[in-house]
Structure formats: structure tokens, C-alpha cells
Structure 1
Amino acid sequence: MNELDFSNKTVLVVGGSSGIGNGIAHAFRERGATVHVWGTRASALDYTDSADSRLDGLGYTQVDVSDAANIERCALPFDRLDVLVQAQGTVLYDRQEFKTPGFRKVLDINLTSLMACADKCYGPLREARGAMIVVSSAAAFHSTRGNPAYNASKTGAFGLTRTLGEAWAREGIRVNGIAPGLVDTKLTRVTTGNPKRLEGALRNIPLGRLGTPQDMAGAALFLASPLSAYVLGQTLLVDGGMLLA
């Protein structure tokens, strides 16, 4: 038996159009799953200019999760859902998160939408006795001086994972999470694209390298598989040892 075979399984990756979510989506597809992704652009063709996006073999739907009403209105293209991965996220720089509009925008995308997507997919997940995986951040475990909304939202995601894990376990839904460290995506280019900042960041990572979407995908596959059948409400820190110091 191959516990990482997802043939005949249906997976939805919210935020699967790029970055970590896209890496996770392809990891499930390569192991036999039918994979759907939600993104913000009108069609999959609108991502051809993005180095972080590869949408071949994935079902694509435009859903702007910054407004929960969009999530409530969208029609799910499946009756049964085996795995829901919530990898949506944003961050604002230049102190925008210290102002209420910026703070609210980040919270709406990074936290409120998690509950809205979970609620939308609750029925199909319960029918399949499936798994939900919330992608938060290592920021949930330390302060992020310039990004109060990002930190608050990821800390909230950590708590929501525990709470839904307990609340939905008897419905047959296992809820767990992943907290990535520094992964090279468009959201982190302010650091990874700056040689001086990157050098400083790498000094604080014992494994000596950035994380990749594939590193996060490995954790997601584990959490969605029978290998983690007795794991519930946990958030795995996948950071190359960054928080050990």
C-alpha cells in the first residue's frame, strides 16, 4: 500500500495559483489526485507571465477571497472533497499594515477567508471524511516588527487550526497546519531579492538555505495521508531550523 497515492482523490488548493500553494497543488497532482485551484486572476492564461505559477493539469477558478461574499457565491465543481489546502495569503510593506485599511485587508485575506473557505467546503469534506490543511507561517511564533497585520493573521490561523481540529474531528475531518519559514516566493522577494538581507536571513537558518514550495508540499502530503491519521490540530513548523535559535 502506498499511503502517498492520492488517485481518485479530489483536492482544492486555495491560493494554488502561485508560490507555496502552487507547489502543493502539483505535488498532489503528481500523485494521482484531481486538483482544483483558486486564484485572483480571470483565467489560468493570465498567469503565463508569472515565474511562480504553473497551472497545467490543474482545474482553475477565479475566486477573490478578500471578500467572503465571493466565497459564499462560488459554485464548487465537486460533490466530494478529500483535501482542502488553504494557502492564500498577502503582506503589505512600507508600514501600510499600521493603518486600519491595510490591517483589515491583510486580515480579510489571511484569516477571515480561512473560516469562509472552511465553511464553504465543510459539507464535501465531511462526506469524504477528509483533511484540511492551513498554511500559516513561522511568524505565528515570533514578532514581525514591520507587519502587525501579517503577524496577527498568522497567529490567528494557528489558533483556528487547533480550534477547528477539535470541533470537526468527530465529523471525520482532520484539520492540521503548516508554518513555513522563509520560502522564496513573490511575497518574500523584498528579502530574497536583496543580497544583503538574504545573507542575514540565511545566517539564521541552520540548514543554510531557503525553503521551497516543494519542501512545504512534503509536509502537506504527509498531513493529508494515512501516515498522519492520529495527528490533529497541529501546525508543523517547516523552517529549516530558523526558530531553534
Structure 2
Amino acid sequence: MSDLDFSGKTALVVGGSSGIGNGIAHALKDRGAEVHVWGTRKTAEDYDGVEGSDLRGLNYEQMDVSDFDAINNYAPTFDKLDILVLSQGTVVYSRGEFEMPGWMKVIDTNLNSLMACAAKFHDMLAQSHGSMVIISSTAGYHATKGNPAYNASKTGALGLTRTLGQAWAGEGIRVNGVAPGLVDTKLTKVTTGNPKRRDAAIATIPQGRLGTPDDIAGAVLYLVSPLASYVVGQTIVVDGGLIL
């Protein structure tokens, strides 16, 4: 059996309804896992026609990750959990993050919900000796003009990955992370959807291209597999060389 065969494993990808999370969900499904995803819309059908969203073969449920009581009170539709991927995220443009409503929206979604989900599923992961992967961003390593909350949340995600990795390793839970660079998703359309900005951004990436959800999924597959059995608390940067 391949180390990347996840047959018999159950995974939950928070934010798996589109973008990077959706790519990760399908990568796990295609390798045998039973994959559940959380998204913001009421039903899977509400994502029909949405760019970067394909929920075929995935088990979809709606969850507002900024509602921490809802997360805590959630009754799992699966009886075990081997893999938890936290890929939720949002951003507020037009300097909205410099005001408290915008700041709190981003911090609650991008950082506070990580801890809410981790705490919720800790016991299930401990029982299965499972893995958790936090998707952060290369924004955690440098300033991001105009987006203080996004930056602070992603920097916080790096620290949370280290600290939970240390705290839970003795219980058999491996916590690691992936920090994507510029990936072409709906969240980055302010850059990737503008030809001038897109070209300027690509010029800063040594590989000369934008990332894809599949690029990020590859690193996640490694981290949740036996190949990474001695890797704890680490965040792998997957950015085509952007921040070198």
C-alpha cells in the first residue's frame, strides 16, 4: 500500500467548498479518503457554477466558522476523524481592516476559528492518532499593505501551529501547516483578475507562475501521511520561491 493511500481514513476540510480547500479535499478523496467539507452556503447545490468549487463526491455541511458556539455544539456526521485541514479564510479590502468591524471579521474567521475547530476535534484526533494541518499564508512572514488583520491572523496561525504541535504531539496528534504564496483563487482575484497586477505579481515569483490549489494539496498530502510521521509543528512554505 502506498503511503499516500488514505483508504479507510476520514477527513474534514474546513473551507473545503472552494479554492485551496476544495483542491485539498479532492486530493484526499482521489486517494481513498472519505472527505467531509464545511462551507458558508446552505447546500452543496448553492456552489453550482462557482469558480474553483466542485463538491462532487464530497460530504458537504454548512458552518459559519465565526460562530464559535455553533462549532462547539456541532454533532459530527462521522464517527471518527483521522485528518483535519483548516483552510478557512477571508480578507477585507479598501482599508476595511483598519476599522474594528473589518478587523474582527478577519481575525474571527482566519485565526480564532482555528482554535475553535482544533478544540472541537481534539478528542477525535487523539483517538485516531490523527493529523491536523493549518493553512496559513506567506503573509505571515512579511508585511501586507492595506491588510493588517489578514497579516496578523496569518502570523498568528504560524504560532498556533507551532504551539499546538508541541502541546499535542504526546497525545499522538501531529499538527503542521502550509503557507501558500499567491494562488489563483476567488480570494486573490483583486490581484489575479487584474492583468497588470497579475503580471507584476508573477514577475516576483522565481518559478514565473501563480500557484494552484493542487500545489498546496501536495504539501498537505505529505504532512498527513506516514511520510511525515516525525514532522511536528512545522509550516511548509509553498510559494514558487516568492519570499526567498
Task: Using structure 2 for the length normalisation, give the TM-score.
Answer: 0.99
Match of 1:243, SS?
coil
| Aligned equivalent of 1:239 | 239
| Distance across 2 between alignment mates of 1:107 and 1:192 | 24
Report how far residue 84 of structure 1 moved.
Answer: 0.1
Report how far residue 38 of structure 1 moved.
Answer: 0.3
| Distance across 2 between alignment mates of 1:42 and 1:74 | 15
What pairs with 1:14-93 in structure 2 (closer than 5 Å)?
Answer: 14-93=14-93
Deviations 1:47-88 (A, max 9, x none): 003011000000011011012112112211122110000000
Code of the residue aligned with 1:231 in structure 2: it is V
What pairs with 1:144-163 in structure 2 (closer than 5 Å)?
Answer: 144-163=144-163
Code of the residue aligned with 1:130 in structure 2: it is G
Match of 1:242, SS?
coil
Matched positions, count = 244
Give yes or no for contact 1:63–1:74 (8 Å, CA) kept in 2: no
| Distance across 1 between alignment mates of 2:70 and 2:192 | 33
| Distance across 2 between alignment mates of 1:144 and 1:10 | 36
Report how far residue 104 of structure 1 moved.
Answer: 0.5
| Aligned equivalent of 2:226 | 226
Structure 2: stretches of 5+ with no match in the other structure? none
| Distance across 2 between alignment mates of 1:25 and 1:179 | 17
| Distance across 1 between alignment mates of 2:209 and 2:145 | 23
Structure 1: stretches of 5+ with no match in the other structure? none
Which aligned runs of 4 or more in structure 1 are off by greater than 2 angstroms?
A: none
Match of 2:243, SS?
helix
Out of 33-42 and 64-73, give the one that drifted further.
Answer: 64-73
Match of 2:4, SS?
coil
Out of 49-58 and 67-76, give the one that drifted further.
Answer: 67-76
Give yes or no for contact 1:40–1:62 (8 Å, CA) kept in 2: yes
| Distance across 2 between alignment mates of 1:128 and 1:73 | 21
| Aligned equivalent of 2:7 | 7
Match of 2:13, SS?
strand
| Distance across 2 between alignment mates of 1:236 and 1:67 | 29
| Distance across 2 between alignment mates of 1:85 and 1:188 | 20
What pairs with 1:114-125 in structure 2 (closer than 5 Å)?
Answer: 114-125=114-125
Deviations 1:184-222 (A, max 9, x none): 000000000001101110010000000000000000000
What pairs with 1:205-216 in structure 2 (closer than 5 Å)?
Answer: 205-216=205-216
| Aligned equivalent of 1:184 | 184
Code of the residue aligned with 2:88 in structure 1: it is Q
Code of the residue aligned with 1:21 in structure 2: it is G
| Distance across 2 between alignment mates of 1:123 and 1:76 | 12
Deviations 1:102-124 (A, max 9, x none): 00110000000000000111111
Task: Using structure 1 for the length normalisation, give the TM-score.
Answer: 0.99
Report how far residue 25 of structure 1 moved.
Answer: 0.1
Code of the residue aligned with 2:80 in structure 1: it is R
Match of 1:231, SS?
coil
CA-atom RMSD in angstroms: 0.6
Code of the residue aligned with 2:186 in structure 1: it is K
